Amino acid sequence: MNTKDFASELKNKLDLDDTKTESMLNGVVSVLRDKLLAGNSIAIQGFGTFEVRKKEERISVNPSTKKRMLVPPKLSVAFKPSVVMKEQFNKMEKK
Amino acid sequence: MNEKITLQDVIDELSDKLGVTKKMSDDFLREFFSLIQASLEKDGIAKIKGLGVFKLKLVDERKSVNVQSGEEIVIPAHYKVSFTPDKALSADVNKPYAHLETYILDEADGPVEAPSNMETFDDDDDESMLDLEELDKKSSEQETLAENANVSPSKAVSEETTAAAKATTAPQLQTDAPKEEPKPDAPNASFAASLADVVNQEVPMEQSYAQVNVIVQPAEPLFVAPEPSVTEQQPASASENEPIQPEPIKPAAPIQQSVEGSLNEPLQSVSAAPQSAEPVQPAPTVAPIQATTPISELAASDSKTAQPAEPITVKAKDQNPSVSEDKKEDEGDGDDKKKSAQSNGLRVVIILIALAIIGLLGYQYSSQLKDFFIKTNDKKPMVDTAVVKPALEESETLEQEEVPAVVENEDTVSDYDMSNETAKTEQEITTQSADETNGSNEDLSNKPVMSSKDKFHPNFVKYMKRTYPNANLEVAEILDVVKITKGKRLVDLALEYYGHKYFWVYIYFFNTEVIKNPNNLVSGTRVKIPKLDPSLVDYTNPDVVDMAFELKLNLIENR
């Protein structure tokens, strides 16, 4: 499901018009984004936690050239699903 | 930073941002997250533009071992949610590290060496680049001089005390019988250290007391100031000492004795213990006297305005933590009274030294107090300013008269910083104070002023002329003066002011005086950003960027 489907689904469920849905959707994303950029973690009950994690520098080896490279540290966004949500997924039939 | 945001916070923020009701944004957000979940259940994937992609992945069952019991267990097949942040989002989040690049390690480098990022070069800190080494040697002489003057707080104190200790031994040996072994130094010095601590603690306390005390403080060190600076300077200047000393002591001594007497009473009552420590050298007797001197001085100058009782109580408090020492001192004091005739001369000498120590300490704080005073100047009554003004004038004349006094002043500057930020390293302080003496009078934050000192490192200019004869290294003005805060790098500055990170080399070579190691900027350093010829920092031109990069490689990495 991509953003477009997502928006139309939301629109139907909440009984909103197109522009309203879009502005709300953009608003949510930008709020989450701002929080993450500030280094905060966002915990949504029943869904999961978004947080910024630092990945330390590491040495990686290019398997074909055998060159060893030092990869600098980086910050990335991580998402950890809540236990509740995980359980619900696992109740589903395994494909 | 590092807060945990809950759904409620997000709801509030959203309704504030979009001007919708809380209920509305609450509904929307709940629906938003449950729809992501629903979409994951249905399709196994949910893409949200600007945020990222959630995917549901099936993990097959696998065997594992229970770590505690060693039993074999089977982890059943389960789903896991993977989240890949949107490219724009991850790029923005990673901004603090965006300038770092992957670095190919040489074979010869060994397993963990030569990292690419600038902060980890720290190992070869003290080396300067080859081209600069000559000049650095020359400047290092000056630096060591400066460093001697600007030591970390503890060192500064210890140096003073050792200086004081040295000073004490010398007169002792001269004036007293061979009974006085150099041994007294040790307790004396150690006490001096503790005294220094006491005085250090004292000053802030006094600040919080009546303002009168604050005003008095600068006056106190001023008349004693020349003394320590002379003693510290050279042993030969003992003769110089004489003409200056009489001034401070004459006013201080009589009052001191009176105050001392009053103070000794409580002290002795504290030290009701038997005089078991007979062999204590007379030197420790300095201690009570030293302790009293600040009060006596305070009292002396206070007498017009404030009650001497106040400082004395402060003193008593201060001495409590070191009761054991006090005891010894008092025993020594009692001891001293017995052979007072013998040690009277010694006492006078020691009083002088005590005054010197206190004067030195007080003088160091005087600048702090001056600043404090200036800040609160408008609030204070006119009388106070009248008191301090002559004092300030006096200090100026003193500085003019004596070169060591100026050196002393540098010391105070650095000490002032230290007292503000005690966690700083020695290195930080030395560079900072060196910097501050360079530009102590200029308003650094607002108006960067171009001075004759501000130019590229001569060797750099030479190198540039040789390799890039076309490069225009003229610097007409200074764009800005930036105070380095923690985590700030030259690369950031270059990116900010010139538009490309490689141009940091120019900033470095413009600031070689204050930047010792470009890979390890000392926070508090004030870096001047030169206004460079546009052709030098044209980041749209790859040649110019390459040139900067090569400069970095040739001049800094291949030392």
B29 touches chain A (CB under 8 A): yes
Stretch B273-277: mean pLDDT: 39
Find the closest chain A residue to B110 by CA distance. Answer: A68
B77 interaction partners in chain A (CB closer than 8 Å):
94
**pLDDT higher at B165 or B71:** B71
Read off the amino acid at residue B150.
Answer: N
Whether pLDDT at B534 is above 60: yes
pLDDT recorded at residue B85: 92
Instruction: Give residues 58 to 77 of A whose Cβ lies within 8 Å of B.
Output: 59, 67-77
Instruction: Say yes or no to pLDDT of B350 above 50.
Output: yes
Confidence label for B460 from pLDDT (cuts 50, 70 and 90): confident
Give the three-state DSSP class for B443: coil
CA distance B468 to B548: 11
Q: Which of residues 47-106 of B touch A (CB under 8 A)?
A: 47-52, 54, 56, 58, 77-81, 83, 85, 89-90, 92-94, 96-97, 100-105
Cα distances (Å, whole numbers) of residue B129 to B132, B138, B354, B504, B552: 5, 14, 46, 16, 11
Cβ contact B51–A29 (<8 Å):
yes
Q: What is the pLDDT of residue B541?
A: 82
Disruptive mutation site among A32, A67, A69 for chain B (greatest number of B CBs within 10 Å): A32
- The confidence score (pLDDT) of residue B431 equals 44
Q: If we measure between CA atoms, which residue out of B10, B38, B95 comes closest to residue A77?
A: B95
Nearest to B226 by CA among B348, B409, B389: B409
Dist. CA B242–CA B254, nearest whole Å: 19
Q: B360 near B162, Cβ under 8 Å?
A: no
CB contact under 8 A, A33 and B35: no
At B439, the pLDDT band (50, 70, 90 cuts) reads very low
> What one-character-per-residue DSSP string does B219-276 give?
HHHHHHTHHHHHHHH-GGGHHHHHHHTHHHHHHHHHHHHHHHHHHHHHHHHHT-S---
Q: How far is B490 from chain A (nearest CA, A)?
A: 18
* Best residue in A89, A91, A95 for a mutation probing chain B (most B CBs within 10 Å): A89
Neighbours of B559 (CB within 10 A): 13
Q: Collect all residues of chain B within an 8 Å Cβ-Cβ radius of residue A74.
A: 94, 97, 100
Mean pLDDT of B350-358: 81
Least confidently predicted of A10-24, B208-222, B365-379: B208-222
| Alpha-carbon span A48 to B541, nearest angstrom | 47
pLDDT at B446: 53
> How near does any CA of chain B get to the CA of A56, in Å?
11
Question: Does A57 sit within 8 Å of B35, measured CB to CB?
Answer: no
Q: What is the pLDDT of residues B36-50, one digit of tens each?
A: 888 888 888 989 888
Task: Give the integer Cα–Cα distance in Å for B345 and B351.
Answer: 10
A1 with B83: Cβ contact below 8 A: no
CA–CA separation, B59 and B80 (whole Å) = 7
| Cross-chain residue pair B37–A13, CB shorter than 8 Å | no
Nearest CA distance, A69 vs chain B (angstrom): 4
Question: Is the Cβ of B472 closer than 8 Å to some Cβ of chain A?
Answer: no
Quick: pLDDT tens for B483-523.
Answer: 887 777 788 888 888 888 888 888 888 888 788 777 777 77
pLDDT at B425: 43
Residues A44-54 have pLDDT tens digits of 998 999 989 99
Judged by CB atoms closer than 8 Å, whether chains meet at B79 and A86 is answered as: yes
Q: pLDDT higher for B521 or A9?
A: A9
pLDDT reading at B84 higher than 90: yes
- Burial bucket for residue B388 (CB in 10 Å: 0-12, 13-18, 19+): buried
A67 vs B contacts (CB less than 8 Å): 104-105
Bridge partners for B483 per DSSP? B526
Q: Does B36 touch chain A (CB under 8 A)?
A: yes
Banded model confidence at residue A7, pLDDT cuts 50, 70, 90: confident
Mutation target to probe the B interface, by most B beta carbons within 10 A, among A28, A35, A55, A60 is A28
Q: Give the Cα separation of B150 and B540 in Å (integer).
A: 44
Rounded to the nearest angstrom, the minimum Cα separation between A47 and chain B is: 7
Nearest CA to CA, how far is A30 from chain B (Å)?
Answer: 8
- Chain B residues with CB under 8 Å of A3 CB are 47-49
Nearest-by-Cβ selection for B116 from A1, A39, A70: A70
**Cross-chain residue pair A92–B41, CB shorter than 8 Å:** yes
Report residue B156 as tokens.
């500064």
Inter-chain residue contact B14 with A36, CB threshold 8 Å: no
Give pLDDT, residue B53.
Answer: 92
Which pLDDT does position B396 carry in this prediction? 43
Please answer yes or no on whether A42 and B10 come within 8 Å at the CB atom.
yes
Chain B residue numbers with beta carbons less than 8 Å from the beta carbon of A55 are: none
Q: Which residues contact B483 (CB under 8 A, 6 or more apart)?
A: B444, B445, B524, B525, B526, B527
ipTM > 0.85, yes or no: yes
Percent of chain B scoring above 90 in pLDDT = 3
3-state secondary structure of B337: helix
**Highest mean pLDDT out of B15-19, B173-177, B279-283, B539-543:** B15-19
Alpha-carbon distances, residue B162 vs B190, B191, B315, B408, B488 (angstroms): 9, 11, 24, 16, 38
Higher-pLDDT residue of B160 and A17 is A17
Residue indicated by tokens 């052709």: B535
pLDDT at position B469 over 50: yes
CA B153, CA B422: separation in Å to the nearest integer?
Answer: 8
Beta B78-85 vs A68-71: how paired, if at all? unpaired
- What would the mean pLDDT of B298-327 be, rounded to a whole number? 40
Distances (CA, A) of B393 to B87, B166, B224, B356, B381: 64, 31, 15, 21, 19
Tokens of B77: 């097949």
In the predicted model, what is the mean pLDDT of residues A38-43?
Answer: 89
Q: What does the mean pLDDT of chain B come to?
A: 59
Q: How far apart are CA B315 and CA B322, in angstroms?
A: 12
Confidence band of B428 (pLDDT split at 50, 70, 90) = very low
CA of A39 vs chain B CAs: smallest distance (Å): 5
* Residue B163 confidence (pLDDT): 42
8 A C-beta contact, residue B178 and residue B214: no
In chain A, which among 18-37 make CB contacts under 8 A with chain B? 23-37
Strands (E), B344-485: 478-483
Give residue B377's pLDDT band: very low, low, confident or very high (50, 70, 90): very low
- List Cβ neighbours of B415 (8 Å cut-off, separation of 6 or more): B153, B156, B364, B365, B367, B368
The pLDDT tens digits for A52-89 are 999 898 888 889 988 888 888 989 999 999 999 888 88
Which residues in chain A are contacts of B7 at CB distance < 8 A? 43-45
Burial class of residue B541, CB neighbours in 10 A (0-12, 13-18, 19+): exposed
